[in-house]
Amino acid sequence: MGGGGVFVLAVLFLTIVAPLWIIFHYVTKWRSARGLSAEDERTLAELWESAGRMENRIVSLEKILDSEAPGWRSRQ
């Protein structure tokens, strides 16, 4: 195998092996990073609790408005 054979192997490597290697490398990185980190889960739990508290406050405010200004919903 002379210089031409090495050139053919280099071209085959660069056109077939290297792109597949790069694609599989990033696919495996994407799969491993797909889940939430512990900090992300904690932040999501805090947001969920905050949304629940806000919902309770809105319900309370609507009850107050219903009793003190009965037609407030139709004025929106």
Residue 72 and residue 65 in contact, taking contact as beta carbons nearer than 8 Å: yes
CB atoms within 10 A of CB 65: 13
| C-alpha span between 12 and 15 (Å, rounded) | 5
55 or 13, higher pLDDT:
55
pLDDT digits (tens, 9 = 90+) for 39-71: 888 999 999 999 999 999 999 999 999 999 888
CB 44 within 8 A of CB 36: yes
Residue 53 identity: R
Query: For residue 33, what are the CA distances in angstroms to 28, 29, 65?
Result: 9, 6, 47
> Would the pTM count as exceeding 0.85?
no
